[in-house]
Amino acid sequence: MHNSGETLATKSPNLTDHFNRIPKKLRLSITDRCNMHCVYCMPKTGIPLYPKNEILSYEEIQHLATIFAGLGVEKIRLTGGEPLVRPDIEKLIFALSNIAGIKTLGLTTNGLLLSKKAAQLKSAGLQSINLSIDTLNSDKFKSITGIDGLSQVLLSLQTARAQGFEIKINTVIIRGQNDDEIVDFAQFAIDQRCPVRFIEFMPLDGSHIWNQSLVVTKEEMIQRLNKSGFVLLPQNNPLSDPARLYSIQGQEGALGFIPSISESFCGACDRIRLTSDGKFLTCIFERPQNDVKKLLRLGKSDKEIADYLIECYQNKPQGLISLLEQKSLRSGLNLMNTIGG
């Protein structure tokens, strides 16, 4: 455990890179384990998992999150793998929610375990939930995720709503898999009065199925919705928000599009990531190599760790823009189950 009186990170300058981007949001992966095997994430045979002694403890996560808060981070989102498979997650949520400077605390989940834990999570201080639902068809759900669990996930949606969470639905659209449900999801957003955010398929797949032909772009999705009678009205939202938000004329529902491939938003990126084994990622496409856990376990001071994070972030790559220019997009550029969403 660190000496709280030694927390010098609060005196450090904010993180900034050569493109003048300043991160305010930290994605915290707390496990690489998952109770699904989604086709766009990992193969059904699985992939090698980190030994448990390599995973950051809750105390270590809290320690590092406090340093990040001292460097200007204001929002934390817990990811995985599937974060709810990790025991006693509510203890971590309570600790993180009490860190000075952290304004919002969210979680991204596949929903299989959410209905049983929603009340505990709310009491612990969790504020928002991003719920992954990639199909509304039970058979297709099993095909995509490897689990017969759609009814359980939809129950979790209702349970989370009853607890008062801010909820968003995340839907990864893959041509030939679920792109025939885009209109259905728009109606779902209206019926549930819950935003659905369509995500363009990214090359972060351990299954190595990604290729450009499987990407359904934001513009193509909007065209399909327009042809089906949905009139989408663009909303004003921060450039740093990856989702382009639209209201639906005459309806209470809303849709978002995360055009990761067709309309890169790297120039306004304000997100950083910490993997469950303690690697600091300045970019979602960056290979995990900045080992913060090593410094922590060597007993380095908070200031030494903060200085290391500042140095790493100064070298943040331009992002997807440069990958597109180099025509170097390919499947498996990174593994979503280890770096989180």
Each residue of 193-227: pLDDT tens digit? 999 999 998 876 556 677 888 999 999 999 999 99
Mean pLDDT (whole number) for 31-35 = 92
Strand order of the β-sheet with 196-200 is: 232-234, 244-248, 254-258, 196-200, 166-173, 128-132, 104-109, 75-79, 25-29, 271-274, 279-281, 290-291
Does residue 321 register a pLDDT over 70?
Answer: no
pTM, whole model, 2 decimals?
0.90
Contact 258, 303 (CB under 8 A): no
Question: Using one digit for the tens of pLDDT, what is the confidence trace for 252-298?
Answer: 889 999 998 888 778 788 999 999 999 999 988 777 789 999 999 99
Q: What is the mean pLDDT of residues 70-95?
A: 97
pLDDT at position 80 over 80: yes
User: What percentage of the chain reaches a pLDDT higher than 90?
Assistant: 70
What confidence category does residue 121 fall into, taking pLDDT thresholds of 50, 70 and 90?
very high
The confidence score (pLDDT) of residue 38 equals 84
Measuring CA to CA, which residue among 211, 204, 219, 229 is closest to residue 257?
Answer: 219
> Looking at residue 2, what is its pLDDT?
41
pLDDT level of residue 23 (50, 70, 90 thresholds): very high
pLDDT at 312 over 90: yes
Helical spans, DSSP H, in the chain: 58-70, 89-97, 114-124, 138-145, 150-162, 182-192, 218-227, 292-297, 302-314, 320-325, 336-339
Q: Provide CB contacts within 8 A for 263, sequence distance 6+.
A: 218, 244
3-state secondary structure of 39: coil
Q: Which domains does the chain have, with CATH numbers?
A: 4-339 (3.20.20.70)
Residue-level pLDDT at 5 = 41
- Across all residues in the chain, what is the average pLDDT? 89
Residue 10 has pLDDT above 70, yes or no: no
